Amino acid sequence: MPEVIINGPAGRIEARYHHEPSQTAPVAIILHPHPQFGGTMNNQIVYHLYYTFVRRKFSVLRFNFRGVGRSQGLFDNGPGELADAATALDWMQSFNPDARACWIAGVSFGSWISMQLLMRRPEIEGFISIAPPANLYDFSFLAPCPSSGLMVNGGGDRVVSTEAVAGLVDRLKTQKGVVIDHEVVPEANHFFEGKVDQLMGVVDGYLDKRLKKKAESAA
């Protein structure tokens, strides 16, 4: 898990990168929670998401948004962080030009940024959104959502209600050809404290289903 430094729009971006030797290995990037509430690339959920893609033979990158850890710059409440994410994906693709697939995952604030990037990058074919802050940020840009994916929230989350996430998912499901799965981890709070294993069980099951279906289609 080598440390890498990426030249970003606000200066250096601190990151961790796992590289798969296969030239066609799929790629994934992971976006962390809100920087002003302690979110970093070492967040427990981000860490587990990183390794769940590693185990499935992805080349994977997680990084600190501007102003976090050793990444330069200042928090920008969205636009700057989106630029950081786009730069990180560009970096990934420069090292993996023949990747057969591209995924993105985000946690809370990071899921909001990841969905914005999804709208701008048609090569992203799947996403994992953990605790998407549907009642705190505007997701109306997902019109239509271009790729299928998974949204997961905690049943005991007092920051983002299940109803808010369900409402977002219902709106997205109306888009033709796109399927948004929605799962709720019972009693889990916004940070899935004590429930990370259950959360990752949901994520692992979804990834295995999607990747198996793609493999069968390719065969």
Quote the pLDDT of residue 195: 98
Give the model confidence (pLDDT) of 4-45 as tens digits: 999 999 999 999 999 999 999 999 999 999 999 999 999 999
Quote the pLDDT of residue 99: 97
Quote the pLDDT of residue 135: 95
Give the model confidence (pLDDT) of 164-182 as tens digits: 999 999 988 777 889 999 9
CA-only gyration radius of the chain, Å: 16
CA-CA-CA-CA dihedral for 212, 214, 218, 219, to nearest 10 = 20
Q: How confident is the model at residue 83 (pLDDT cuts 50, 70, 90)?
A: very high
Mean pLDDT for the stretch of residues 52-80: 98
Instruction: Quote the Cα angle for 142-147-149, to 5°.
Output: 95
Percent of all residues in the chain with a pLDDT value above 70, rounded to a whole number: 100
Domains and CATH numbers, the chain: 3-218 (3.40.50.1820)
Token pair for residue 197? 């294993």
Quote the pLDDT of residue 1: 63
Give the model confidence (pLDDT) of 93-145 as tens digits: 999 999 999 999 999 999 999 999 999 999 999 999 999 999 999 999 998 89
Q: What is the rounded CA–CA span in Å between residue 195 and residue 132?
A: 17
Query: How would you class 175 by CB atoms within 10 Å of its CB: exposed for 0-12, middle for 13-18, buried for 19 or more?
Result: middle
Instruction: Quote the Cα angle for 106-112-113, to 5°.
Output: 75
Quote the pLDDT of residue 177: 84
- Average pLDDT over the chain reads 96
Quote the pLDDT of residue 14: 98
CA-based nearest residue to 3, from 42, 33, 35, 39: 42
Token pair for residue 219? 């065969």
Is there a contact between 29 and 36 (Cβ–Cβ < 8 Å)? no
Q: What is the rounded CA–CA span in Å between residue 54 and residue 59?
A: 7
